[in-house]
Copies of this chain bind each other. A is one copy, B any other.
Amino acid sequence: METWLHWVDLAGVAVFAVAGTLMAYKKHMDGFGVVVLASVTAIGGGTLRDMILDLPVFWVQDPSFFYVIFIAAFSTIIWLRSKDTFPLRYLFFADAFGLAFFNVMGLQKAMTYGASPLVAIALGTMTGVFGGLIRDVICREIPMVLKGELYATACIIGGASYILSFQLGLSTLSCMIIGFFITLTCRLCAMKWH
């Protein structure tokens, strides 16, 4: 994978790990519970995608994902213990970036390994939203993503635009950029009007 893509990927993992840590904190979990929920949220979707595509899971050969998760979870806990508030507004923005990026990574990986377009959209969406879904199931919440909020719809629209770009013959990078910005725009609009 190209270096800058790897860095963006790590940034997405960090944001999702913070979201998982916040949930663990809300549920009064300690050390290990925080790490599990942060990890599941951050890498659960991609893990399922790779298992379904019958590929080696992306983090097995590369420990940097776990370092990022530890740092993100630890910093979040430090912040929560020393301040009274958490900048949720910024987290929501960061989360939208993470979602759009994970969606596009899932689309690209699925198309590379021969999935059909509809399946690629499903796998992109799964990469974006399944980590949060598993986190909510573990915490006995009805998964937020199933309750509306246009979370997944943004992934699907972004995925469709990726596929359309692909079939118009654009380069993989162009498809990824288009898919990313359309997913991001849909998600930000949904956040604004809901």
Contact = CB atoms under 8 A, between A and B. Distances in A.
- Copies of the chain in the assembly: 3
Contacts of A62: 116
A51 B53 CA distance: 9
A66 B118 contact: yes
Contact of A117 (B37, B63, B148, B156): B63
Contacts of A29: 146-148
Contact of A55 (B32, B54, B145, B156): B54
Name the interface size band of chain A.
35 or more
Contacts of A145: 32-33, 36
Given A138-B133, A147-B29, A60 B53 contact: yes
Contacts of A30: 147-148
Given A29-B147, A53-B60, A61-B116, 17 more contacts: A24-B146, A30-B147, A30-B148, A32-B146, A33-B147, A36-B133, A36-B152, A51-B52, A53-B56, A54-B56, A60-B114, A60-B119, A63-B119, A66-B119, A67-B118, A133-B138, A137-B137
26 contacts: A29-B146, A32-B145, A32-B146, A32-B152, A32-B153, A32-B156, A37-B146, A39-B122, A51-B52, A51-B54, A52-B60, A53-B60, A54-B56, A54-B57, A60-B114, A60-B116, A60-B119, A61-B119, A63-B116, A63-B119, A67-B118, A133-B138, A137-B137, A138-B143, A138-B146, A140-B142
